[in-house]
Amino acid sequence: MVDTEESIALRIETEKLQRAAYVLKAVGHPTRISVIDILGQCERLNVSQIQEYLGVEQALLSHHLTTMRDKGILKTEREGKNIYYSLMDRTIMNIIQCINGCKSF
C-alpha cells in the first residue's frame, strides 16, 4: 500500500502497455491461448494437426488462426497443399507460464 498520492507512479511504459493490450486482445480467447500452448510445444503444425489436438471445428479454428496471423502472433509457411503455423515470437509463451502460475485462475 502506498502512503501518499505523490509516491504513486505508472510502473510500465506507455508503449509497453499499448503492446500488451494489443497482444492480450489478440489472444483473449481460450482457443487462441490453447493454440499458443500447442505451438509452443510443437514448433509448427498445420490446421489439421492443431484441430486434432484441440478438438474444435476446422472453420472456427481457421478463423482464430487467421486472426492471430493478421495480428502478428503467428506466421505461416506453405509446403505443397499444407500451410504450417508457428509462433512469430516465442516470448508469447510467457502468457502460458503466467496463466499456469497464477493462483487467481
Domain boundaries, the chain: 12-101
Q: What is the mean pLDDT of residues 66-71?
A: 96
Position 10 scores a pLDDT of 82
**pLDDT surpasses 90 at 5:** no
Confidence of residue 81 (pLDDT cuts 50, 70, 90): very high
State the sign of the Cα–Cα–Cα–Cα dihedral 37, 43, 46, 52: negative
pTM for the full model?
A: 0.83
Position 8 scores a pLDDT of 81
**Cβ atoms of 66 and 58 closer than 8 Å:** no
Q: What is the mean pLDDT of residues 54-60?
A: 96
For residue 83, is it left (φ>0), alpha (ψ between -120 and 50) or beta?
beta
The yes/no answer on whether domain 12-101 falls in CATH 3.30.930.10 is no
Position 2 scores a pLDDT of 54
pLDDT in tens, 87-103: 999 999 998 898 888 88
pLDDT in tens, 8-47: 878 889 999 998 899 999 999 999 999 999 999 999 999 9
**Cβ atoms of 31 and 60 closer than 8 Å:** yes
Give the contacts of 56 (CB within 8 A, at least 6 positions apart).
31
**Cβ atoms of 40 and 33 closer than 8 Å:** no
